Structure 1
Amino acid sequence: MSDIRDNRPELLAPAGDMECLRAALDFGADAVYLAGQMFGMRTAPSNFTREELQTAVALAHARGVRVYVTCNTVPRNKEIDLLPDYLAFLQEAGVDALIVTDLGVIDLAKRYAPKVELHVSTQAGITNYAAANAFYQLGAKRVVLARETTMEEIAEIRAKTPKDLEIEAFVHGAMCMSFSGRCLLSNYMAGRDANRGACAQPCRWKYALVEEKRPGQYMPIYQEGEGSYILNSKDMCMVRHLPELLRAGVTSLKIEGRAKSSYYVAVTTNAYRWALDELEQHPDTPVSPWIVEELDKISHRPYSTGFYLGGEPGQETVQGGYVRNYEVIAVCEDYHDGIAILSQRNRFFRGETADVLEVGEQPFDLPLDELFDQDGQPIESAPHATMTVLLKTERPLKRGAILRHRRTEDS
């Protein structure tokens, strides 16, 4: 397929399964990254079988979207013999790039998948131009920078590396309290290897002190009067700062989240797509407020700009959970003759107003004034999971439109 990367930045979205892939394609991703059943740094999502991966590549390429496959775990001796066949399969499937960390995997990829680009993973911890140049000499087409880099450091990396070496950086999603994921807490505390995609995220847990002669007496840890989630990182949100990232020389803007839902993929991809399109048309205008507001409608930890701008606390010490202000209440299955056919996701009531996310449209309000069950009988609410609800509305809804509402205390 032709290379879509001319002078515009690439929007790179996560895809943990086929539903997430379709959301990324529908809402404007230029490229997606995903994993097969081995060697990917996320084991929580279902990931893709070989057959599904072939289908995913075909679907993406039909839309002009590139596919990058993660091979960025740190493999053990017993796994090495599996790599040649797997890498050859990925090349045969038509994937556009392999995301790699391990030097041995890089060497094997050049031998068994020589036609596939090499993108060096954030797991490699690249924070300087010498490391970026070293990987370029090893055959890398792109480096995915460590989240610990600042804007100034990115600009220097760009200035002191070959122009055809692409630079990818994260713009949204979860951050790790360790150095780009190289953490052993999960191994020690849960027997799950973070460097093999199985992190239990013990950094999110609440900790207390115990004095050895007073077992069972848990003394909370405080930081300047705040709470005791001392290792808990905030989430990243850079939607207000895309111009700075692009001026620094970032080629690809990456959304974290292969373990997240298709709704998360839809919202984040849509928001950053609109933000980039606005920036292209009006480079001196701040991002529209509604785009920023969209990113508050997904489950997230308190946002920060991470290390990019400096000076902002990156830890959320008060609580270890998520901010969940909105929830999905229904998805549109079809629309005809003034009737939208909805599939329920969470309870909602007649008389509410839904906030609708639809491909190609800014979010809009939709009154839920006339609701019916699948037999056409009027109903006051939709309390049952995945029940079919008929909504009478003069505004046509596209198939796949997502209806949301603000959560209440009893939601």
Structure 2
Amino acid sequence: MLELLSPAGDLECLMSAVDYGCDAVYLGSTMFGMRAGAAKFDPETLRNGVEYAHAKGVRVYLTCNTVPSNDEIELLPEFIKTAYDCGIDAAIVSDIGCIALIKRTVPDLEIHVSTQAGVVNYVTANELYKMGAKRVVLAREVDIENIKRIRDNIPEDMDIEVFVHGAMCVSFSGRCLLSAFMTGRNANKGECAQPCRWKYHLVEEKRPGDYYELSEGDGGSYILNAKDMCMIEHLKELKDAGVTSFKIEGRAKSAYYTATVTNAYRAALDAVKNGEPIPKWAVDEVYKVSHRQYCTGFYFNKDDANQYYENSGYIRECDFVGVIDSCENGRVNITQRNYFTVHDDLEVLSPGKTPVKLDIPYLINSKGEQTEIANRATEKMYFDYPVSFPPHSIIRKPLSKK
């Protein structure tokens, strides 16, 4: 079975991922996760998230992929027992000691070896399998031909997971000391300040205060800034290479990002499974979220995984302006998220559907007044409409070109 694996930075993102078609989600609790800013799942929230996912047949994987110190690792047994009691389906782990400790503490819990472990060959994968690993998340530096070699030389019941979409790291498998050196925030403990996205100048030792731009153009140069990965048009090649799980990066991203990208990859992966062409609308969808320039990572031509020197900003083509809460008797109830008017070129994205145009005749605000403008954050509003949409459908508009 091919698995679509989506990120969940918080409970809203988890619900979006589940509603828009993922087979599994990965998330971080209060410790041991590589995204400290997305450590939103305390035991109560984790239990609620697991219940929501399991009710729709979606598995939940917990990230435990930091490199813990002696003091930290002593907290792992109680931490993982609590998470296991909440119903998680697997732990994503990078440290060998953590793998052994988790297997002793909760023997029935699946172990997925994180990309942070840097697995690039089948010998390593086989040794991890002997230690109890059910899955390896390969290093992003592994190309398609080497994925095939790994698949051909590991047990049939061992899964291969790879990243197919999202941010890339300049360091090998995310092993970076730059953030800790420059800011005191350790990337290997989930606190990366992303100094690889910053703009740098050159200074000569005997000329302090004289800064020389590292220039590719008028805007200087972002010498460490990586492009984003996008493999939506190449899922068949990955499937044929033996990939089991297709992973979307983005635990620090919004629920809108999670929903949109999950919906697109769901359609693309279903097309691959059915031997059909990937729908053009699904490919177009990945350009409707904030992203850097796309590339195919290291899977094909390593030259395509190069850095983007002009800037480190995001490309945005659409604004997420509202979410549909319910539709009752011809009335659409929404929660406003960003400014829009009834005159904007709006569209609705519903789970498992292509986006459709939305022509709103008027809005009724929370005071019962008719208006053409939605400009109060998270205001509850409604409008009458002849078409119903499922709950959690997204309303968005294109950004105006300046």
Which residues in structure 2 correspond to 1:353-372 (within 5 Å)? 353-372=345-364
> For residue 88 of structure 1, what is the aligned residue in structure 2?
81
Structure 2: tracts of 5 or more residues without a match: none
> For residue 382 of structure 2, what is the aligned residue in structure 1?
390
> For residue 73 of structure 1, what is the aligned residue in structure 2?
66
Structure 2: distance between partners of 1:314 and 1:248: 23
> For residue 142 of structure 1, what is the aligned residue in structure 2?
135
Distance 1:111 1:324, change over 3 A: same
Aligned counterpart for 1:307 among listed residues 294, 298, 311: 298
Distance 1:120 1:330, change over 3 A: same
Aligned counterpart for 1:292 among listed residues 283, 307, 324: 283
SS of residue matched to 2:5: strand
Structure 1: distance between partners of 2:57 and 2:47: 15
> For residue 154 of structure 1, what is the aligned residue in structure 2?
147
> For residue 347 of structure 1, what is the aligned residue in structure 2?
339
Structure 2: distance between partners of 1:289 and 1:397: 22
> For residue 245 of structure 1, what is the aligned residue in structure 2?
238
Matched, 1:206 2:213: no
Distance 1:59 1:388, change over 3 A: closer
Structure 1: distance between partners of 2:345 and 2:329: 21
Structure 1: distance between partners of 2:9 and 2:286: 19
SS of residue matched to 1:239: coil
How far is 1:389 from its partner? 2.9
Aligned counterpart for 1:125 among listed residues 113, 118, 125: 118
- What letter is aligned with 1:307? F
How far is 1:342 from its partner? 2.1
Structure 2: distance between partners of 1:34 and 1:145: 18
The question of whether the paired residues in 2 share the 8 Å contact of 1:356 and 1:403 is answered with yes
Which residues in structure 2 correspond to 1:9-408 (within 5 Å)? 9-223=2-216, 227-281=220-274, 283=275, 285-310=276-301, 311-408=303-400
Q: Which moved more, 1:242-251 or 1:207-216?
A: 207-216
The question of whether the paired residues in 1 share the 8 Å contact of 2:37 and 2:191 is answered with yes
Structure 2: distance between partners of 1:21 and 1:388: 22
How far is 1:58 from its partner? 2.0
How far is 1:138 from its partner? 1.3
The question of whether the paired residues in 2 share the 8 Å contact of 1:192 and 1:198 is answered with yes
How far is 1:137 from its partner? 1.5
How far is 1:289 from its partner? 1.2
Distance 1:94 1:339, change over 3 A: closer
- For residues 182-217 of structure 1, give each alpha carbon's deviation from its aligned partner in whole angstroms, at most 9, with x where no partner exists: 000000011000000000000000111123444333
Structure 2: distance between partners of 1:19 and 1:331: 12
Q: Which moved more, 1:69-78 or 1:331-340?
A: 331-340
- What letter is aligned with 2:277? P
TM-score normalised by the chain length of structure 1: 0.94
Distance 1:371 1:59, change over 3 A: closer
- What letter is aligned with 1:293? D
- What letter is aligned with 1:77? N
- What letter is aligned with 1:13? S
SS of residue matched to 2:335: strand
The question of whether the paired residues in 2 share the 8 Å contact of 1:376 and 1:390 is answered with no
The question of whether the paired residues in 2 share the 8 Å contact of 1:226 and 1:317 is answered with no
- Taking only aligned residues, the RMSD between alpha carbons, in angstroms, comes to 1.7
- For residues 101-160 of structure 1, give each alpha carbon's deviation from its aligned partner in whole angstroms, at most 9, with x where no partner exists: 111111101110101011100000011111111111111110000000000010011011
- For residues 290-340 of structure 1, give each alpha carbon's deviation from its aligned partner in whole angstroms, at most 9, with x where no partner exists: 101111111111111000011314311111111111111111122223222
- What letter is aligned with 1:135? L
The question of whether the paired residues in 2 share the 8 Å contact of 1:353 and 1:368 is answered with no
Structure 1: tracts of 5 or more residues without a match: 1-7
How far is 1:358 from its partner? 0.9
How far is 1:278 from its partner? 1.6
Structure 2: distance between partners of 1:263 and 1:246: 27
Structure 2: distance between partners of 1:131 and 1:225: 46
How far is 1:218 from its partner? 2.6
Structure 1: distance between partners of 2:159 and 2:289: 30
Structure 2: distance between partners of 1:210 and 1:408: 40
Q: Which moved more, 1:80-89 or 1:221-230?
A: 221-230
Q: Which moved more, 1:101-110 or 1:392-401?
A: 392-401
Q: Which moved more, 1:89-98 or 1:373-382?
A: 373-382
How far is 1:349 from its partner? 1.5
- For residues 204-235 of structure 1, give each alpha carbon's deviation from its aligned partner in whole angstroms, at most 9, with x where no partner exists: 00111123444333321134888410100111
Q: Which moved more, 1:113-122 or 1:312-321?
A: 312-321
- What letter is aligned with 1:222? S
> For residue 3 of structure 1, what is the aligned residue in structure 2?
none
